[in-house]
Amino acid sequence: MIVDGRNITELQQLKTDICIVGGGPAGLTLANEFINSRLGVILIESGSLNFNPEAQSLSEAKAISVNQSDLKKSRRRQVGGNAHAWNAPIDSKTAGWRCLPLDPLDLEPRDWIPDSGWPFKHQDLESYYQRAHQICGLKEFNYAVEDWQQPDSSPLFTDSQNLQTTISQFAHSSIFTSYYPQKIRRASNIRILTNTTVLQIESTVQNVTNVDVASLKGNRFKVGAKIFILAAGGIENARLLLLSNEQCSLGLGNQHDLVGRFFMDHPRIDLGLFVPFSRQFFDHSQLYDIHAVNGTPILGAISLTTQLLIKEKLPNHGIHFYPTYHGHLAQAKISFKTITKELSQGTIPDKTAHHVYRMLSGRKYFIDVVYWKIWRLLSNSHLGIWTFLPHEKTRFSALRLTCQLEQIPLASNRLVLNSEKDRFGQNKIELHWQLGDRETEALKKITTIVSQELNQSGVGYFQSLEQPLNQDFAALTGHHHLGTTRMHSSPKQGVVDADCRVHGLNNLFVAGSSVFPTGGYANPTLTIVALAIKLADKIKTVL
């Protein structure tokens, strides 16, 4: 059932068997595992079923990199969590999200990735990945490229010894924004407390006793349980532990100053343009566009082979193709954006005549823009790649290569509490983040190898970007918050153990991507769901 926290009596004490903090994919997956069981569950969600700006304001936080940026937009306080913000176009009118498991190498200790290695093997996750596929409304757990190719969508660059093709599947966002919220609210043993924010975790030396909560109306009360699970995301999980500092002045689970450290994201960096010699390339490369095979939307990417990653000591990555213009059409686009930006700021751009000339030379770009906008308006479609709309692939001449990169865990990339307070008087979060030298050097090496391979392919040529890498968090973020309560068998190297239990506490667990010791390059949600199922199985043996 749904219970609005604003209607709970001031200072009331609620009791249950399992208390889950956070109603996103991790929390909903956990709750679903206990539907109609003998165990009572309370799921606490700061927002409501619908978007509430008042609740969303509690996500305000700063990211400090080259520039300051606000982290509020990357976190959704609402039942369903960030699933409400997923917008991958899985057909011409439907938004979804990308599903891909971590690679076996991602879980292994790698001497070129400091602090790498998970406390279990990839094979220990495979059965949970299979169950996660069912939870996510996907079909068979199968990512073998050869099982997804078709006559007009075969892998490219098969003669290369250094490049490989990988496959992602896509699922509908509604699985977490609608289906599971409705399913769980009908369960007799589960209460979803909406408009209710956890302020602090109360504990003895070894056990959590209650969470202190407040509703958006301001009334405060407590929730007690036998088991507590933080499933509030990579930022709020760490923040709640840091705020809960009555037993330990540094925060719960923070005896070794690890909570909030090792923050990782999946930086997305443009490597350059691939220009096919013939437009027929677009007719035979559908594997690298989002398209359906036997009812399942998929997308191909390229990367260096696992053997080459090991040999060259590189982080994992995936490179996707996005259609674009090149030559004078690209220059026209740049000039148009330059002029409109300057005019909007009340200034006249330098070399105005030059920009106008480039715009006139590339007038086809503007015709295409108008065509696109009208067509999409009429068809009510989301932004496609190049095969969604009739004849769309004929309107491009190049492909932009964008690399989603594994970020190397660094203790200096961290979340800290700052002096600013939210509406409940709680310290806000500040993220200190930067890419390290290892990532920038790895990108150079990846770009060099990819460039050589594409230029030798015989189907086109590669133009690398000559501009320096923008180190700003807002420009690079993939909105994947990883690693702030990292998993390790030793409390001196991790916040939680292999069962996702906080070191030193018997009944406090953490779910979500904050427990990832390393992040690979795959979007994290499928792994988040798999780990949530694994955690639920563990709790069933305890209670």
Question: 121: pLDDT confidence band, cut at 50, 70 and 90?
Answer: very high
Provide the token pair at 465: 């970007």
Mind listing the pLDDT tens digit for each residue in 66-92?
888 888 888 999 999 999 999 887 866
Q: Between residues 12 and 354, which one has the greater pLDDT?
A: 12
Position 376 scores a pLDDT of: 44
Write b or e for each residue in 142-164: b if 16 or more Cβ atoms lie within 10 A of its Cβ, otherwise e: ebebeebbeeebbbbbeebebbb
pTM of the full structure: 0.90
Question: 322: pLDDT confidence band, cut at 50, 70 and 90?
Answer: confident
Q: What are phi and psi of 317, to 5 degrees?
A: -170, 160
Say how far apart CA 494 and CA 7 lie, in whole Å: 39
Provide the token pair at 305: 């082979």
Mind listing the pLDDT tens digit for each residue in 447-496?
999 999 999 998 999 998 877 788 889 889 999 999 999 999 999 999 99
Position 350 scores a pLDDT of: 64
Does 373 score more than 60 pLDDT?
A: no
476, 482, 484, 490 alpha-carbon torsion, rounded to 10°: -130
Q: What are phi and psi of 298, to 5 degrees?
A: -135, 170
Mind listing the pLDDT tens digit for each residue in 160-212?
999 999 999 999 999 999 999 999 999 999 999 999 999 999 999 999 999 99
Q: What are phi and psi of 539, to 5 degrees?
A: -65, -35
